[in-house]
Amino acid sequence: MKRLLYIGIMLLCLCSCKDKANVFVLEGHISSLTHDTIYIYGADELYDHIDTVTTQDGKFRYTTTLDTITPMWVIFPNMHREMLFADKGLKATLQGDTAAIGHIHIEGGEQNALLHSFYERIDSMQDIKKITVVADSFIRANPYSEVSIFLIREYFTQRLRPDQTKIKTLIGSMSGNMQDNNYIRQLQRTLSTYKPMEKNSVVTNYNVRDTEGKNVSTSDYQDTYLLITFWASWDEESRMRQRELIAIKEKYKEHNFDILSVSLDTDRSAWLEAIAEDSITWRQANDFEGWGTGLVKRMQIDHLPASMLLNPARRIQTIDLYGEELDKKIGELTEKKKPEKKSEKKPEKKSPTNIRAQKLKK
């Protein structure tokens, strides 16, 4: 009996030690936060749910159990986000101030150190082309790093028309282990069959639900130029683009033009609050599947903000066009040509002289 009890205790200890070995711990101190909520979610399919963490006087502690290294996003109340790499048995710290963008520092683990070194190199850069060059160089110099996979996704694949040759070259420069990564293997399969959505491509039938839970489909917009926009409450740039459309919607309300906005939010309350705050009146749709939303996949949307203008035949007329250029294009496409008025011939007034002349002829 004692022997069985001893074995049981040993098994419990071993299980407890194993669980601790798989735990990732993130401790943070964000000076600009008092009692707020931050969100943490996985950047790939290995960790596909969202966790909420409450801060107390700017401090928080987050733990989760992992089997392998996992990239994660940390989203703050002002929608600023930071990438970190979590791993089993790793303890990381996050410190800084979200009120001063760029003043967040993550310590703990080799991958987080590498990512921080990359961000330091691009800290003062504004030109995305220059940043892409630095990312290219970093990936080639770090073929064994998980950070390289993240950079391929962030700067090379998340484009409406990605450079397939460049992506294949960068993947080829990585180690065999990195090429066996689930995301990279899926990316390679996608590249082999990839056909980009482009101007004049036809958008087939779609079906999403609006704020009232009603289905939205192409049949709702017959004989209409339709601007489909993609946004999320947590992406400030896409919300800004939505607000810009308020004036355009009003300007062309008498034309055969409409807007449908599709959200990538997974939180219904946050979605509805953002619509109300931004005073958006046109139809809004959301399947609450984030990047997995059917219409998002079908239209190959891989970045925010994003938009496509369809003609009544459902062919794409513009991609990611905004501001004055979008306004001008809508005007050109939807301008109604008023039919010329036919000149009506007034009946000839018959004078007494004409009447007498007609009688004489008779």
* Tokens (6 digits) for 205: 């039938």
**Range list of β-strands (E), 31-168:** 37-42, 50-54, 59-65, 70-75, 81-86, 91-96, 104-107
Using 50, 70 and 90 to split pLDDT, how confident is the model at 103? low
- Mean pLDDT for the stretch of residues 129-152: 93
Q: Does residue 86 share a domain with residue 125?
A: no
Cβ atoms of residues 111 and 145 within 8 Å: yes
- Of the residues 196, 220, 243, the one at which a domain ends: 196
- Mean pLDDT for the stretch of residues 35-45: 82
Q: What is the pLDDT of residue 252?
A: 94
Using 50, 70 and 90 to split pLDDT, how confident is the model at 130? confident
Q: Does residue 8 register a pLDDT over 70?
A: no
Q: What is the pLDDT of residue 175?
A: 94
d(CA 35, CA 53) in angstroms, rounded, equals: 10
Specify if 116 maps to a domain: yes
Q: Does residue 131 share a domain with residue 60?
A: no
Q: Does residue 179 share a domain with residue 94?
A: no
Min mean pLDDT across 111-125, 263-277, 325-339 is at: 325-339
Cβ atoms of residues 301 and 282 within 8 Å: no
Specify if 13 maps to a domain: no
Q: Does residue 115 share a domain with residue 150?
A: yes
Q: Does residue 46 share a domain with residue 94?
A: yes
Cβ atoms of residues 171 and 184 within 8 Å: yes
Q: Does residue 225 share a domain with residue 304?
A: yes
- Mean pLDDT for the stretch of residues 344-356: 50
Q: What is the pLDDT of residue 341?
A: 46
**What's the CATH code of the domain at 296?**
3.40.30.10
The b/e string for 307-341 (b: 16+ C-beta within 10 A; e otherwise) is: bbbbeeebebbbbebbeeebbebbeebeeeeeeee
Specify if 67 maps to a domain: yes
Q: Does residue 250 share a domain with residue 181?
A: no
- Of the residues 145, 177, 196, the one at which a domain ends: 196
pLDDT in tens, 179-199: 998 888 888 887 776 666 677
When the pLDDT of each residue in the chain is averaged and rounded to a whole number, the result is 82
**What's the CATH code of the domain at 57?**
2.60.40.10
d(CA 109, CA 124) in angstroms, rounded, equals: 25
Q: What is the pLDDT of residue 99?
A: 64
Specify if 126 maps to a domain: yes
d(CA 305, CA 262) in angstroms, rounded, equals: 11
Q: Does residue 114 share a domain with residue 93?
A: no
Specify if 342 maps to a domain: no
> If we measure between CA atoms, which residue out of 223, 230, 224, 235 comes closest to residue 245?
230
Q: Does residue 336 register a pLDDT over 50?
A: yes
Q: What is the pLDDT of residue 178?
A: 92
- To 10 degrees, what angle do helices 128-141 and 164-172 make? 30
Q: What is the pLDDT of residue 360?
A: 45
Cβ atoms of residues 103 and 165 within 8 Å: no
Handedness of CA 131, 132, 138, 144 (dihedral sign): positive
pLDDT in tens, 194-245: 666 677 777 766 678 888 888 887 778 888 999 999 999 988 899 999 999 9
Q: Does residue 165 share a domain with residue 260?
A: no
Specify if 361 maps to a domain: no
Q: Does residue 215 share a domain with residue 318?
A: yes
Q: Does residue 243 share a domain with residue 166?
A: no
d(CA 127, CA 137) in angstroms, rounded, equals: 16
Domain count, the chain: 3
Q: What is the pLDDT of residue 326?
A: 95
Specify if 341 maps to a domain: no
d(CA 82, CA 323) in angstroms, rounded, equals: 29
Specify if 132 maps to a domain: yes
Min mean pLDDT across 6-15, 106-115, 225-234 is at: 6-15
Cβ atoms of residues 160 and 300 within 8 Å: yes
- Of the residues 196, 226, 247, the one at which a domain ends: 196
- Give the SS3 label for residue 162: coil
Note down the domain range covering 141: 109-196
Q: Does residue 69 share a domain with residue 128?
A: no
* Tokens (6 digits) for 46: 């290995």
